[in-house]
Amino acid sequence: MNEMTIKSIEIRNILSFDSVFINDINEINCIVGKNNVGKSNILKVIRFFYDRLDGKKLIGLELNNSYTPYGCIKISYDLSRIKKIVTSKNSNKSSYFKHIYNVFFKGELTGDARVFSDEPSEPSCIFSLELIINKDGMSKWSIDNKDKLKVISYLYPFFDIETRHINLYDWNKLWIIVSQLKSFNMSSFNKDKLVEFINEEISPTSDGYKKYLSEIQNVIDTFKYSYKEKILGLIKVGLNGHRFSIDGNILEKQSDGTNSFRYISTFLTLIISLTRREFITPFIFIDEPEIGLHPKITEELIYNIFEVVIKYQKNSLYNIGKYNTPLPKIMFSTHSPNIVKSIMKLFPNNNSIFHFSKNGEDEITKIRKLKTDYRDERFLNAFSDNEARLLFSDFIFFVEGATEIELFGNRKLQRYFPKLRKIDFYSGDNVLIENISPSYTKAVTPYLFLFDMDKAMDVVNGNNKFNKIELKGNGNIFTFKNINKEIENKKYSYSKEHNEIFCLFKKIVSYNGWSIKISRKTLSIIDGSHSEFLELKKDIHNYLIEKNVYILDDTIEGVLICRQSSEIFFKWLESKGVPINDLINKLDNRNYLTKDLLLIYIRLIFGGKSEVLQKSNNISKSNKIYKYVNDNLIGNRVSSKKTSGWVNEFLTYAIGHIENNCKENHFYTHFSRYFPQLSDIIKNLRF
């Protein structure tokens, strides 16, 4: 239910905001982003708006562009529910309802008069209020009607918590909130009758209570109680006490984390529960609630909110149809993946995630609502902190598995390429990857997919001892199976670049079903089209890189074990006790077993593939040399399994070798010479 709520917030030329528009504000909202991108500024802006709404005299916020004479804050509200209430035929309407009617709706045509008028059949119930801030620090409202300002302030109160500034041992702010959330008719309240009643109860024979009050009043000079102060005083009289405790203990005996958790929980529970029977719809902003809390406690905080929300929903199992009042709008600004995860899992249909970022050139805050309306239950069930953390990333690098993470996590590699330390590496199945990718969520976070070539193309068995090219796809990330989809995309682009990409796509798909003949000894194409096959792989790479997909020549193992790095790899094998050089020296008299083929065999032993995407099980069982290298030469001297640690060990050795053999400041030249594809991958990690 969105009636009677804040609909949108628009900010122009204030603080880090040039021009932003936030709509689709849901029941539970989350602001995510790096430090210093404007998340705290949004709180400053909203707080300033409401402070001015409450009549406080304040110097205006700094303008983003001082050459522009003013900035503005506009908040739009949906008055449709309050309109239904105050225009109903209920004879028991309060005087305040009548006041709201007179302020906002008096004079609107109703019934037959509307039918024969030129006015819209249903006038808009959206009310927009704009605060203009001049460069001299002065500010003014877009309307002069102070009654409207007061009504808006009352109907849509704003509450906020800056967690780092909570007084953990003084919770009296909660009493202020209590006094704002319930309206009572105080016009007929008689203080003297209350004094008489209390006097009769506690000093019936001596009038001690009345006399005591009189003596105090004669000594002190005070302002009269405000409406809110009267309400709060009467509320406290009916409660058991006013000093807050936690499980019967004073606040000073609790840890800071416990106090913070309980304060925020109490704050939110009070506001949600006390407004269920009211026509007030608060807007709540909590800045970094995770401060001082264990990650699991932050999850418990969100779950507590979930429990309260469920209890008071209109379709609640507890009270079906009882509560029609819209829930408060709650907005969290957070760096916590646990909070984001919990919100997305517990509130899948009524959450909004807003991603804040800054343009590096002009330092302007950009706001983008992420796509989080997930319909795939498999994704929501599997969604964890590991996925939620990607919403806070500088760069997301999607990889296939543990080998890639081991490679790019190598400490020596990260020392020479420090940007790797700022990248979030992620490996998951297609359900997770497709749903958390910025291409789906619409986040501005840069990203890159890294896949083996067999995700795009396989070489399968064909007829008459021939193999066949089978083009593939990888879920919704890319496909070579649906040419119609690419044709549809082309309809909306007439650029030269897109035409070139489309032509490349058509060229690639023309190879689907192409027959080739592969030698089971050399694992290469023997019908003269080997170079054409390599050109096809290059075309696939060039096409997919435009879609933020880096497709490898074969596998991640081939990135490390390649022709250019063979010198270092063989030396590493020698250091592990593998007599590889003895075998190399014997190769001179072999007709087909060359050093390059030996390298291919070794790559297959370590889990890789050949240039034509053949695996170890594609080798003829009668190939005694492969069997010798696998069983006797490599054998138990080196563990060649994917997650055995050889990737990290070899890369550390290789970088050390380059360090020892290159001249000063020439490391990167030598590194790219030995590992050209790895170097190219790192270059493509741009942010």
pLDDT digits (tens, 9 = 90+) for 413-448: 999 999 999 999 999 999 999 999 999 999 999 999
Tell me which residue of 430, 676, 657 sits closest to 563, measured CA to CA: 676
Q: pLDDT digit string (tens) for 328-361?
A: 999 999 999 999 999 999 999 999 999 999 977 7
Cα(15)–Cα(36) distance, integer angstroms: 12
Q: How many whole angstroms separate alpha carbon 584 and alpha carbon 476?
A: 46
> How far is Cα 508 from Cα 539, in angstroms, rounded to an integer?
7
Check whether 121 has a pLDDT greater than 60: no
pLDDT band with cut points at 50, 70 and 90 for residue 631: confident
Inform me whether the pLDDT recorded for 111 exceeds 60: no
Cβ distance 570 to 537 under 8 Å? Answer: no
Chain-centre distance for alpha carbon 146: 40
User: Region 224-244: what's the mean pLDDT?
Assistant: 90
E strand or H helix that includes residue 197 = helix 191-202
What is the C-alpha radius of gyration for the chain, rounded to an integer number of angstroms?
A: 35
Could you tell me which residues are beta bridge partners of residue 448?
Answer: 397
Report pTM.
Answer: 0.87
Q: Ranked by mean pLDDT, which of 268-277, 468-477, 485-494, 649-658 comes out on top?
A: 649-658
What does the alpha-carbon distance between residue 389 and residue 208 come to, in Å, rounded to a whole number?
65
User: How far is it, in rounded angstroms, from Cα 333 to Cα 340?
Assistant: 10
- Give the start-end residues of each E strand in 89-156: 126-134, 139-141
Question: Is residue 12 within 8 Å of residue 71, measured between CB atoms?
Answer: yes
Measured CA to CA, the distance from residue 29 to residue 659 in angstroms comes to 50
With CA atoms as reference, report the closest residue to 144 among 126, 132, 158: 132
* The CA-based dihedral angle spanning residues 63, 65, 67, 73, taken in that order and rounded to the nearest 10 degrees: -50
The pLDDT-based confidence of 323 (bands split at 50, 70, 90) is: low
Give me the pLDDT at residue 679, please. 98
Q: Are 268 and 330 in contact (CB under 8 A)?
A: yes
CATH class for the domain made up of 6-79+125-171+244-369: alpha beta
Could you tell me the residue ranges of all domains in the chain?
6-79+125-171+244-369
Question: pLDDT confidence of 117, banded at 50, 70, 90?
Answer: very low
> Of 584, 598, 579, 575, which is closest to residue 649 (Cα–Cα)?
575
116 band by pLDDT with thresholds 50, 70 and 90: very low
- The DSSP result for 534-565, as a single string, is HHHHHHHHHHHHTTTEEE-SS-HHHHHSSTTT
For 414, phi then psi, to 5°, come to: -70, -25
Q: With contact defined as beta carbons under 8 Å apart, do 402 and 642 qualify?
A: yes
Query: Does 197 have pLDDT greater than 90?
Result: yes
DSSP assignment letter at 44: H
Mean pLDDT of 57-61: 93
- What gap in Å lies between CA 337 and CA 335, rounded to an integer? 7
Contact 429/516 with Cβ under 8 angstroms? no
DSSP state, residue 103: I
The confidence band for 114, taking pLDDT boundaries of 50, 70 and 90, is very low
The average pLDDT across 280-308 equals: 96
Whether the per-residue pLDDT at 490 is higher than 70: the answer is no
Alpha helical stretches, state H, 238-320:
256-274, 295-312
Please report the pLDDT score of residue 110 as a whole number: 53
pLDDT band at residue 625 using 50, 70 and 90 as cut-offs = confident
Please give the Cα distance from 56 to 48 (Å, whole number): 9
Say which DSSP state 74 is in.
E
DSSP-derived pairing of the beta strands 249-250 and 365-369: unpaired
For residues 176 and 377, what is the distance between their CA atoms, to the nearest angstrom? 42
pLDDT value at 267 more than 60:
yes
Give me the pLDDT at residue 481, please. Answer: 80
Does 409 score more than 90 pLDDT?
yes
Per-residue pLDDT band for 322 (boundaries 50, 70, 90) equals low
Residue with tokens 């009467």: 234
* CA 118 to centroid of chain Cα atoms: 47
270: nearest Cα among 152, 352, 185, 173: 173
Name the percent of the chain lying above pLDDT 70: 93
Q: Are 15 and 45 in contact (CB under 8 A)?
A: yes
